């Protein structure tokens, strides 16, 4: 389960997502980011992630500002508040929305602990479609012990929706043993912690049923692409992913060379929240171009390259599987 949701706040993942002050990024800082993105990287995407963007108090103003700069914007959301925000998001010029769901209605609502969470998300999607034909909508679902056996029904539910794509993500997790192996080599520069292991039990995941569901889903034709991250090609590969977490499945991280994450205090880390808690600059002190080419991030990229593309604690990070 997500470290933030389980209040495991000492992990790299949780540290990257919560605890930074101020809680909400100041509107002035966002404008600085948008201005510099427009000047230095005009084709870049501005993604709202963190914990839940739809409760960000300056969401609509900043979307409108970015849109007026000609910048591409995307939001990743649990969609609980989407019905109230849908029309406003379209008017503000949002380009893309990624909606995180945990399975069909009953499963999703059980996992989220909210009796109408799924229904509100679907209502929000329908309202987005009502107000825009151009907005790209993607749905993503993390595979867990609770939704295995229900994945095919989940895809089938959306078969008539004009989604950009529907993606399944195998659980991203870092057991303590993998973190220990990593820290024997990189604890001084890029220390790792366990991550996303509380309240999950890999041994309870029925991998036989999961493999049959994957095969069944891939045998169908849908109006949108259905993807898995990673794209496991065999049952043996599925066993390796979940039962041998120290084994590298992907080949290299591309996100460190393509993305950065900016926190609400202006500090910047490589890639995104699942990456190492390595500050590579601060927008209050340096400009975006300088940070992108800073010695700190350049050294980290060089370390990754010398290691062959991934460090030990990268073994089950979603960035290791990006194509």
Contacts of 162 (CB under 8 A, 6+ apart): 129, 137, 223, 224
Q: pLDDT tier at 323 (50, 70, 90 boundaries)?
A: low
The rounded distance, in Å, linking the Cα atoms of 197 and 55 is: 27
- Whether residue 133 is predicted with pLDDT greater than 90 in this model: the reply is yes
Greater confidence (162 vs 277) lies with: 162
200-222: string of b/e by CB count within 10 Å (b at 16+)? beeeebebeebbebbeebeeeeb
Q: By C-alpha distance, which of 183, 315, 301, 173 is closest to 251? A: 315
**How large is the average pLDDT for residues 166-185?**
95
User: Which domain CATH number covers 105?
Assistant: 3.20.20.70
3: its two tokens: 């470290």
Q: Is residue 125 part of a domain?
A: yes
- DSSP code at position 172: P
For residue 253, which of 265, 270, 234 has the smallest C-alpha distance?
270
Domain count, the chain: 1
pLDDT of residue 272: 81
Q: Indicate whether 318 belongs to any domain.
A: no
Domain limits for position 145: 12-179+191-248
pLDDT at residue 8, as a whole number:
42
- pLDDT digits over 188-230, tens only? 999 999 886 667 889 999 999 999 999 999 999 999 999 999 9
Q: Would you say 242 and 202 are in contact if contact means Cβ atoms under 8 Å apart?
A: yes
Terminal alpha carbon distance of the chain: 25
pLDDT tier, 2 (very low <50, low <70, confident <90, very high otherwise): very low
Give the pLDDT of residue 62: 99
- pTM, two decimal places: 0.91
Residue 273: inside a domain, yes or no?
no
Alpha-carbon distance of 131 to 90, in angstroms, equals 7
Q: What is the pLDDT of residues 18-50, one digit of tens each?
A: 568 899 999 999 999 999 999 999 999 999 986
Any domain includes 295: no
Please check whether residue 283 lies inside any domain of the structure.
no
Domain membership flag for residue 129: yes
SS (H, E, C) 110-141: HHHCCCCHHHHHHHHHHHHHHHCCCCEEEEEE
């Amino acid at each position: 389960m997500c470290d933030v949701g389980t209040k495991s706040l000492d992990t790299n993942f949780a540290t990257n997502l919560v605890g930074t002050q101020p809680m909400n990024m100041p509107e002035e800082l966002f404008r600085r980011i948008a201005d510099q993105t427009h000047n230095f990287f005009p084709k870049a995407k501005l993604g709202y992630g963190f914990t839940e963007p739809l409760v960000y108090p300056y969401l609509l103003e900043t979307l409108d500002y970015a849109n007026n700069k000609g910048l591409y914007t995307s939001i990743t959301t649990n969609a609980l508040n989407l019905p109230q925000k849908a029309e406003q998001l379209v008017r503000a010029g949002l380009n893309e929305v990624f909606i995180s769901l945990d399975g069909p209605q009953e499963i999703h609502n059980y996992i989220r602990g909210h009796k109408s969470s799924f229904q509100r998300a679907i209502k929000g999607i329908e309202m987005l479609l009502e107000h825009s034909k151009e907005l790209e909508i993607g749905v993503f679902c993390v595979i867990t012990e609770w939704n295995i056996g229900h994945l095919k029904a989940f895809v089938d539910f959306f078969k008539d929706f004009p989604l950009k794509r529907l993606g399944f993500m195998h659980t991203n997790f870092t057991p303590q043993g993998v973190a220990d192996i990593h820290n024997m080599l990189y604890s001084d520069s890029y220390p790792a912690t366990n991550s996303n292991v509380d309240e999950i039990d890999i041994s309870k995941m029925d991998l036989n049923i999961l493999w049959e569901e994957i095969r069944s889903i891939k045998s169908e034709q849908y109006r949108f692409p259905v993807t898995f991250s990673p794209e496991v090609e065999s049952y043996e590969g599925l066993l390796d992913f979940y039962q041998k977490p120290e084994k590298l499945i992907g080949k290299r991280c591309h996100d460190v060379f393509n993305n950065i994450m900016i926190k609400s205090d202006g500090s910047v880390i490589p890639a995104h929240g699942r990456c190492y808690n390595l500050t590579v600059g601060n927008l209050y002190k340096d400009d975006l171009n300088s940070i992108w080419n800073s010695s700190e991030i350049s050294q980290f990229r060089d370390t990754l390259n010398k290691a062959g593309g991934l460090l030990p604690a990268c073994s089950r990070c979603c960035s290791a599987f990006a194509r």
